[in-house]
Each structure stands twice: as structure tokens, then as C-alpha cells.
Structure 1
Amino acid sequence: MLNNLDVLLPKWRAGETVAMTTVIGTRDSAPLPVGSSQMTTADGQVFGSVSGGCVESAVYEANMACLLGSGPKTQEFGFSDHDAWEIGLTCGGTLETFTELLDRESLPWLEELAEAAVEGVPAAVVTVVASDAPDVLPGTKVFVRGGSVAGSFGTPSVDAWAVEEARRAISERRHALLTGSVAGAEVRAFVQVFSGKPRLIIFGAVDFAAALARAGAFVGYRVTVCDARPVFLTDERFPDAHELVHRQPHEYLAAESAAGRLDARSALCVLTHDVKFDVPVLSVALRLPWGNYVGAMGSRRTHRDRNERLRADGLGSSEIARLHSPLGLDVGAVTPEETAISIMAEIIAFGSGRSGASLSMAEGPIHGAALVTA
């Protein structure tokens, strides 16, 4: 549902029924992350993907069968299957999917979910995918947002178990495939977390910032550009930013932190290249408690001078060691656009705990953990 929410919502408002197949589990080198989905409408239109192309035809057939009344079901696609080459899943991974019908009856709270996604309020949808309890049916859902719960599986003990697990998944910012023995019944449920887009905050309204805002928005970040100089901070220069903030960078960052609008997924990039702006904001950023990405632009000489100023401002060696400076991966970038790709690549590698080395020179899984977003 994550990658199809903006398409699903107008269909839902119009009273249409759609079929959706969602990736609820992956193993090894799966093409797309858990939560990816393919949606099919009654007239055969397809939106989204579960595998980047590998098993889309098989999933489309499952969706169409569901629309014709076959009911919800789980499927597994893997390299070891006898028909792996026929369906195209030759990457060596395994996908587990769940196919179901979605409409106003099954999703009465979809408007609230969409609102939470836009506002960045963490929420979760728990869907039963298998059960041997006669009263707990596959496809039934519970929506958890803050302290409120909507929907029921029909059994209080299953509801309590699902809500507890949903709140744990929300706190950990991860989807979860659950298996539990509840009230004498075996129940499997998929928890899909919606926690809003991760934030990319760019300090310094320069040409490099405009390119980085474009790249960040493309990857899936909510982009803010902050600068104390209003003449440079215009909609025309930053059409891809979600918001422009005219304020002293260190004051804005401290206020956002105090308001609880930052987390470990937030990436902070200081592009001002001016010590009177970048040292104060870096002093705030490097003291944040989440261990998130903090990068600063500048030459190696600027980096050394800036580090001395940060030490003079009271930062310790461990705090300064968090700073990515000069920021970005070593790809030989020259233009603002090339530099933006270099920076976003480093942010992605940092979030996945990867080195940023060429995949042809590395071992292990190709894919990292996906951002939990909507």
C-alpha cells in the first residue's frame, strides 16, 4: 500500500474496489522491499510493483482472480521454484506476498491514514494474512495511530496482541510479519508502518542546494531548505523543495529538534560554506542524540579550520567524528547535479550501513534496508 497510497485514495473515494498484492516478507536478494505493492483496478489498470519486473505478470493474474472472487491469499516466489525462470525471479531471492480486495468497507479509515502519512504522524495497519481461528479472517485489519485504534479482528485477545505489536513496530520504524498463538489459534499478521517521509534539511540556498533538493525529493525525502538570506531563498530557485525557511540555521535546527520533528532518518547537509552560518548549525547538529547523517561542504582546508572552530565551541572528538566533510562519495563530481548525486549516495549508504564501494568490488547482499515512508 505504501507505494500506491496516492493512487488508492481517489479510487477509494469514488467507491471503487481494487485488488492489491503486497510484499509481506523477503529473503536474500529480493528486488523490492517489504511493503511494496501492485494494485489492479476492475478495468485492468496496473499501478506499482512488487519485484521491479520479475513476477509482475503472476501478481497481475492473482489480482484479477481476486477481483473475480477468488478471495485473499498468500504466495511465495523464489529462485528454487521449478518455474522461477518462467516467471522471471532469477535474482536468487524469495518474495512472500498477500493478495486482497480493498474498498471502503475494508478501509473505512483510509482518509485518516492518508492524513497521518502527510503529516508525518506514525501509524500502522495490521492485516491478518492467515489464521486457523474461524472468527479471525484473512484480510481483516486494524489501524493504529497514536493512542487510537480503529477496527477489530473480532477477538479481543487477537486485537490486543496485534495492537501491541503494531506499536512496537511503529517505535522501531519497521514493518513486521508476525506469527503468534493467540487464544489457542495460530495467527499470522503483517504490520505495515507509515511514518511519513524522512527529512532532508539543507542549510544554505546555493546552486548545489537546488540540485540536492531535487535529488532528495526524487529519492523520497521531505526536503527543507533553510537560509538566513531571503534574497536567495525563492520558490523559483527551489521548485523541488517541500518548504523554504527564512531563519538562522542553528535556531531553526534547535527548534525542530525541541519540537520532536527530527529522528534518526533525518539527514542534515550544511552547504553555506560560511563559518558564521555553518559552525553554529553544526554545533547543534553534531549534538543531536540520534546519530543521524550530518554533512558539510567545503575544501579539506575548510574542513580542518571548521573542526578547530567546533572544538573551540566545546565539541568533543567523538562528536566531530560524526561529521561527513567534505560530504559525498568520491565519484569525481564537479557540477551541482553530479555533487547532489554524490551526496545522496553517501546518505543512502550511511542509512544502510554500507561502505559506498562499487558493488562489483563488494560481497554480500545488494539491497539495504528500505526507508519506512509513505
Structure 2
Amino acid sequence: MLERINDLLAQVTVPADWAVATVVSVTGSVPREPGSTMFVHRDGTTIGSLSGGCVEAAVVDAALTALTTDRAELVGFGDADGTGFDVALTCGGELTVLVQPLNQLAGVLPGLRAIAERSPDGALDGALDDAISLVRALPGSTVPLPGPFLVRDGDALPTVRVPGLPERATGDLAAALRSGVTTTVPVFGPPEAGCPELGRLLVESRRSAARLLIYGANDHAAALARLARPLGWQVTVCDTRPVFATARRHPDAHDIVVQSPVDHLEAEAAAGRVDGRTAVVVLGHDPRFDLAVLDRALRLGLAYVGAMGSRTTDGRRRQDLLAGGLPAHLLASLHSPIGLDLGARTPPEVAVSVLAEIIAVTRRPDRRPAAHQLRDTTGPVHATPAFVSAAGREDRFSWT
């Protein structure tokens, strides 16, 4: 339910009137991942979805039943080839959903609301200041868990709150919390009893917002910040020029910094505020600053490092980085010319191209997007556009 923490803050005012449905596990091809959440009101109103529409009606029925009985339930949905599930997923996968009256989570609701209120814009853009996990026992468990509890970023594993949890389960729970993903943790009884499975814990996690560091405060930076913020990125715009690095020019950035880009990146790295999810985009067009920050960024193991520029600029930049001592295997991870080959020209279009590349690179396990990246193509970055004349003839024209 952490996925919809913004809706919890804004719409769920009377918990007794709501049930929450959370995807616990998935197999095969399914539209949503574990942790996906849907709230269901006793009048049938819903917030969110768990699939492309295949199972929502059945989930609503299960939620209304849970509100009537005040009991949580695990509900399975499978494919249409005889898996034994009542409701089929047309995509062929299977998923298990925990349906639970929201009142059973009353003890953690104040903490969730407090975290949502502390996050940027009241969590309305999806970004969180704090990483957080919600731990609860699945129905049918005899796990000695007093009730659901929250674990915030930096907290020690609260073993004092689960005094009867076996040592092995404590270690598994700690590992699940560190992973930052949504998963289940099996809990087994003592060896002398044959290690029976007592049940499972659902560990639902939401990490703090990934960072997008934009170096170069121009119109492209403003457009990129405008599109990236609603996607949940924590956006910083940095430039050495105070006349350009202003809140008026970049109203969608969370942070605006007037500083040398490499000095800023060094300070953020030293403070532990960048990690393997961080994306760096260099838009400055000034080798005095670009080369230093690119060299440093490419050595940090970040999720994405991209730089704007023509093929001529890119070729010269790559030569200079190699001459400066950057290893060739690190240079190979530079996304330049930046973006996907969408034919983008205006700053908003370029922002779509850049964000599409970041999503494609970071979401795919092999780190290679399915669409063409500009760095893997040849010819002009901005191809001459075509139009069809009134006579039906395709003509070519230049923007200049």
C-alpha cells in the first residue's frame, strides 16, 4: 500500500470504510508488480488498479467481503488454461493479492500519513524523503507478530517489537528490508519441532526518491525537470551562473544550486547522497565544466550518465575524456548524443527523449533499451524533417 501513500493522505479519511488490496507475488507475464495497491470503499469506489482490468471486479468483491467479515484474505488469480483459479488473467500470468480491511492497519496509518506529509509536495508527485517498509503477517500465519509495523530508512531492525521471531527469520527479514523491494519472508519454527513453516511476512518497501542531477541551467533543463518531477525523481539543477540557476527559470526543480558542477557532484558523493539509482544529465555545452563532471560521474557507478551535444562535440568530448585518463570501459557507458532517436527538436521534446532513454536503460536488466539510442545511430542528430505538399509530393526543407 506504500505505492498509494499520496492517496492515503488525500482521500482515505475514514479507514473503517476502506479495504486495501496489495499484490503479494506474481508469476509469468502480469501488468503490475508486487506492492501494487488498490483501495476499495464500501460503496464500491476504487483508487488504483492491480491489472489491466482483468481482476479488478473480483478484487472489489473480495474487498467488500473483507469489510463485512473484518477478515483479511489471500486471493489468487491465474491464466485461462485450467490453473484452478476462478478469474483469469488474459496475459497468461498469475498473481496473489492480499485483501485486508484498512482498520487492521490502524496502528501504522499515523506514521504513513506523517511520512507522506514530510515528502516533497505532500507526496503528490510520488517522491519520498524517507525510505520506508511496512511489515505484516499474511493470513493464516501463526508468526508471533503483534501487528503491522513500519521500518524507516536508517532504523535498526526492530527485534524488540517481534520478540518471538526466530533468529533465522530475523536475518531474512533484515535482508528483505535492506533490499528495498516488496517480497515475502517465510518464518519457520524451531528445529526440534521439525522446522514447520509458521507463515509468511509481507515486507512492502518503498525507497526514497531516486535523484536526477542536471548540470546546466538552460531551457532544456527546465523542460527536463518539469517532466521528471511527476515521475518521482528528486530533481537538482546546478550551474555556475546565478543569473540562470534561479527558481523562476526552474520552478519544477526540488533544489537549485549555484556551484561548479564537479564540485557539487563531489560533495554529493562524499555525503552519500548519490547511488546506483542516480542519473546525471550534462546540458552545459562548456568543456571547462562538462569534462570534469562527466569524468567524475562515469567513475561513480551511477544508473545513467548522459551529455547533450552534436556528434562533433561528442567525438571531441570522448577523445578529451580518454586523454584525461578515463578508462575506455567507463567511457562506453556515456549516453551521448543524449536521448532516444525520436526526432526531438524543442526542449520539451528533447526532455521526453532523454527521460525515455533513462527509463529504458534503468528498467531493463541488460541496461539496453529496445528503442534506438542516438549514440548508436549515424547521421545528423536533428534530421531534416519532411512534409507532404498539397500536391501529394514529399518535400524536404531545412529549419535554417
With normalisation by structure 2, the TM-score equals 0.79
Measured at CA, do residues 275 and 358 of structure 1 come closer, stay the same or move farther in structure 2, by a change above 3 Å? closer
Counterpart pick for 1:214 among 226, 230, 246: 226
In structure 1, how many angstroms separate the alpha carbons of the residues matched to 2:253 and 2:207? 19
Q: Does 1:98 align with 2:106?
A: no
In our comparison, the structure showing a higher alpha carbon Rg is 2
The match for 1:324 among 306, 330, 335 is: 335
2:136 matched to which residue of 1? 127
Opposite residue 129 of structure 1, the aligned amino acid is L
Contact 1:121 1:195 in 2 (8 A): yes
Cα distance in 2 for partners of 1:246, 1:209 equals: 14
Provide the rounded CA distance (Å) in 2 between the counterparts of 1:226 and 1:262.
Answer: 15
| Residue 369 (structure 2) aligned to one of 353, 356, 366 | 356
Q: Which residue of 1 aligns with 2:37?
A: 37
Q: Tell me which amino acid in the other structure corresponds to 2:138.
A: V
> Structure 1 length as normaliser, TM-score?
0.84
| Residue 264 of structure 2 corresponds to residue 252 of structure 1 | yes
In the superposition, relative to structure 1, how do residues 242 and 42 fare at CA in structure 2: closer, same or farther (>3 Å)? farther
Counterpart Cα distance in 2 of 1:317 and 1:121: 36
119, 137, 155: which one pairs with 1:147?
155
* Shift of residue 283, structure 1, vs aligned partner: 1.7
The one-letter code of the counterpart of 2:111 is W
Which residue in the other structure is 1:72 paired with? Answer: 72
1:329-344 to structure 2, matched below 5 A, reads 329-344=340-355
For residues 327-369 of structure 1, give each alpha carbon's deviation from its aligned partner in whole angstroms, at most 9, with x where no partner exists.
111222222222212211211121123532259xxxxxxxxxx
The whole-number CA distance in structure 1 between the counterparts of 2:211 and 2:70 is 41
Residue 264 of structure 1 deviates from its aligned partner by 0.8
1:199–1:262 contact (8 Å) kept in structure 2: yes
**8 Å Cα contact 2:189/2:197 also seen in 1:** yes
Aligned to 1:239: 251
Partner of 1:280: 292
Tell me, in whole angstroms, the C-alpha distance in 1 between the residues paired with 2:13 and 2:189: 35
Cα shift at 1:52:
3.7
Change (3 A) 1:199 1:182: farther
How far 1:143 sits from its partner (Å)? Answer: 2.3
The CA deviation at 1:33 is 1.6
The DSSP-based 3-state class of the residue aligned with 2:330 is: helix
Deviation at 1:9, TM superposition (A): 3.2
Give the counterpart of 1:182 among 180, 184, 189: 189
User: Match of 2:290, SS?
Assistant: helix
Q: Would you say the 8 A contact 2:77–2:85 is kept in 1?
A: no
Percent sequence identity is: 38
Query: What is the identity, as a one-letter code, of the residue corresponding to 1:328?
Result: G
Task: Quote the offset at 1:200 in angstroms.
Answer: 1.1
User: Between Structure 1 and Structure 2, how many residues are aligned?
Assistant: 355
CA-atom RMSD in angstroms: 3.0
Task: Please give the alpha-carbon distance, in whole angstroms, between the structure 1 residues aligned to 2:59 and 2:161.
Answer: 26
**Deviations, residues 14-70 of structure 1 (Å, cap 9, x unaligned):** 665531001111122211121110012345432122114332222222222222224
CA distance in 1, matches of 2:50, 2:336: 37
2:212 and 2:236 in contact (8 A); partners too = yes
Partner residue of 2:385?
A: none
Matched, 1:298 2:300: no
